[in-house]
């Protein structure tokens, strides 16, 4: 770090403006109000589209109404976010000095202070579209620059955890992450609403041109342009009001399967069953993170436990896992010809929606698809969806050996991980739930492949915007995301067999008093 940057850090520490903002009360907004910004916009857009063919002036009135909705949200963000950012700056300043000098923690501090300065420097009163565009770009820069905050925090506290009491670390990080979720939600809502409104205005303009063209070409005065008669938009900013859960699970499972296949050479199948037609209101990006993290744990544990108990063995040439020869103790697997979805050789089956599915074995006996092994010797990971009036329940069940008793009380602690440093052992890897297996012990696994695995893991972290393995933030962060909108997460471990994770999420349209 340059001398000027060090000086800037000192100056920021004594910035009275930070203290002034940090002492202000947070002006929370209910989720209902946050959705109300978008619902007003959607209703106005629909009404405007209908009205414009009868009354062009009325159409322009509704366009202005849409803009006002976005301006109202932007004004709230401009006033509220500096207060929240200032509080995070002060919280980092209040850490023990030795922790504050950690390079990762210093980078996080600098990001929050720079974001605070950028928003307080935006002195213009947000009055029109140009002001909205400028504040949206400032917020976009904030969101993009803060993408790596969680990995930086996790690495920083992994290096500094001996200098601070575990309970104090837990409290600090809980507050930091909850605040981060709220800050990003408000910022991304402004960005998304602005983009959606711009698209609606563009579509309205094109439709208006069509109507004008018809009039200019001598079309009958009785001619009325066709306007799509549908419900308001299903996407309100960052919130999706008709989110198809099974499809989202399928996408997340496919993504994690590919990454698992890259790291281990094989992957369990994923079976999605229960109420697979369920839809509900939620923030998709939050649920994607939760699902990817939980599925990652289940798939990793399943592959590693398969090798540990002999369900699969490393291939002699590659070190990757393959099913043992017929006649071994490995349970029979369903052959490739009975798969419902075709795939290339060596690739995992795409997630299967529906079920439980009963399939016929060669001897005519029926076999539940949730119990059979695939060609790699791995039992499937089962995702079950249940919907009630006010909540959605997702159960993720694996046969990855479970969590050992010694680790069970610590799996939600920050920076707790059983994954060894890759420099410590290039021949052994442990999953997040404490089940170990010698992944790198097979013939053909060399140093370059160990490096490849490390690069792949970093790519996984970048893709999800959070830690995948080895930093110890996965489950704690997942639980906070689940709890943020009034949900909860519960883990049941059957040591020696597997884990059931129950994720219960509120239907957001029924959580009217939730404060952001």
Q: Element (H or E) spanning 209, and its range? A: helix 166-216
Q: Among the ranges 56-65, 204-213, 479-488, which has the highest mean pLDDT value?
A: 479-488
Is the pLDDT confidence value at 6 over 70?
A: no
Q: Kindly write down the DSSP assignment for every residue of 246-263, as one continuous string.
A: HHHHHHHHHHHHHHHHHH
Is the pLDDT confidence value at 333 over 50?
A: no
Q: Are 237 and 188 in contact (CB under 8 A)?
A: yes
**Looking at residue 193, what is its pLDDT?**
87
| Over residues 207-220, mean pLDDT | 43
**Looking at residue 63, what is its pLDDT?**
64
The contacts of residue 182 (CB under 8 Å, 6+ apart) are 84, 516
| Over residues 247-264, mean pLDDT | 91
Write out the E strands in 349-496: 352-353, 358-360, 366-368, 381-387, 391-397, 429-430, 436-437, 488-494
**Euclidean distance between CA atoms 92 and 99, whole angstroms:** 9
Reading the block at residue 324, the tokens are 């043992």
**Euclidean distance between CA atoms 86 and 115, whole angstroms:** 9
**Looking at residue 197, what is its pLDDT?**
74
Give the percent of the chain with pLDDT over 70: 62
| Over residues 376-392, mean pLDDT | 92
**Euclidean distance between CA atoms 32 and 497, whole angstroms:** 43
Q: Are 307 and 393 in contact (CB under 8 A)?
A: no
**Euclidean distance between CA atoms 380 and 372, whole angstroms:** 7
**Looking at residue 198, what is its pLDDT?**
75
Q: Are 177 and 146 in contact (CB under 8 A)?
A: no
| Over residues 474-500, mean pLDDT | 92
Q: Is the pTM of this model over 0.85?
A: no
Q: Element (H or E) spanning 312, and its range? A: strand 312-314
- Please tell me which residue, 262 or 214, carries the higher pLDDT value: 262
**Looking at residue 228, what is its pLDDT?**
34
- Please tell me which residue, 110 or 436, carries the higher pLDDT value: 110
Reading the block at residue 333, the tokens are 């697997």
User: What's the farthest any 2 CA atoms get from each other in the chain?
Assistant: 82
pLDDT tens digits for 214-250? 434 443 333 223 223 334 468 888 889 899 999 999 9
Picking from 286, 336, 295, the residue whose alpha carbon sits closest to that of residue 460 is 295
Reading the block at residue 57, the tokens are 């002036």
**Looking at residue 71, what is its pLDDT?**
87
Write out the E strands in 129-251: 235-236, 239-244
The contacts of residue 420 (CB under 8 Å, 6+ apart) are 428, 429, 430
The contacts of residue 389 (CB under 8 Å, 6+ apart) are 507, 510
């Amino acid at each position: 770090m340059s001398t000027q940057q060090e000086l800037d850090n000192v100056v920021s520490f004594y910035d009275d403006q930070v203290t002034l903002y940090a002492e202000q009360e947070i002006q929370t907004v209910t989720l209902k109000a946050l959705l109300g910004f978008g619902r007003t916009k959607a209703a106005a857009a629909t009404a405007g589209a209908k009205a414009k063919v009868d009354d062009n002036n009325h159409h322009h009135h509704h366009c202005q109404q849409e803009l006002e909705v976005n301006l109202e949200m932007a004004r709230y963000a401009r006033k509220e976010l500096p207060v929240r950012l200032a509080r995070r700056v002060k919280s980092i300043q209040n850490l023990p000095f030795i922790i504050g000098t950690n390079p990762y923690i210093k980078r996080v501090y600098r990001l929050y202070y720079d974001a605070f300065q950028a928003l307080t420097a935006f002195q213009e009163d947000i009055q029109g579209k140009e002001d909205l565009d400028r504040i949206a770009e400032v917020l976009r820069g904030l969101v993009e620059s803060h993408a790596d905050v969680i990995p930086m925090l996790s690495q920083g506290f992994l290096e500094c955890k001996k200098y601070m009491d575990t309970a104090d670390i837990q409290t600090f990080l809980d507050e930091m992450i909850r605040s981060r979720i709220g800050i990003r939600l408000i910022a991304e809502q402004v960005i998304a609403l602005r983009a959606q409104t711009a698209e609606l205005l563009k579509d309205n303009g094109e439709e208006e041109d069509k109507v004008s063209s018809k009039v200019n070409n001598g079309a009958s005065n009785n001619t009325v342009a066709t306007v799509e008669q549908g419900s308001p938009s299903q996407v309100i900013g960052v919130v999706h009001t008709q989110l198809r859960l099974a499809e989202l699970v399928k996408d997340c499972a496919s993504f994690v399967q590919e990454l698992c296949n890259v790291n281990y050479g094989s992957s369990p199948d994923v079976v999605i069953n229960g109420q697979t037609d369920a839809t509900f209101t939620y923030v998709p990006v939050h649920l994607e993170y939760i699902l990817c993290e939980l599925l990652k744990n289940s798939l990793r544990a399943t592959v590693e436990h398969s090798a540990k108990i002999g369900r699969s063995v490393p291939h002699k040439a590659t070190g990757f896992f393959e099913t043992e020869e017929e006649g071994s103790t490995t349970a029979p697997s369903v052959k490739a010809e009975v798969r419902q979805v075709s795939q290339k050789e060596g690739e995992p089956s795409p997630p299967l929606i529906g079920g439980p599915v009963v399939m016929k074995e060669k001897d005519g006996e029926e076999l539940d698809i949730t119990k059979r092994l695939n060609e790699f010797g791995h039992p499937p990971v089962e995702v079950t969806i249940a919907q009630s009036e006010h909540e959605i329940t997702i159960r993720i069940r694996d046969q990855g050996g479970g969590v050992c008793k010694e680790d069970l009380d610590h799996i939600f602690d920050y920076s707790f991980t059983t994954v060894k440093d890759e420099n410590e052992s290039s021949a052994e890897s442990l999953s997040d739930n404490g089940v170990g297996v010698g992944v790198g012990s097979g013939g053909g696994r060399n140093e370059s492949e160990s490096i490849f695995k490390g690069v792949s893991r970093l790519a996984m972290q970048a893709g999800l915007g959070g830690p995948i393995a080895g930093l110890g933030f996965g489950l704690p962060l997942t639980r906070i995301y689940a709890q943020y909108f009034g949900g909860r997460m519960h883990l049941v471990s059957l040591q020696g067999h597997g884990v059931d994770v129950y994720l219960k999420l509120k239907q957001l349209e029924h959580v009217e008093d939730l404060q952001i």
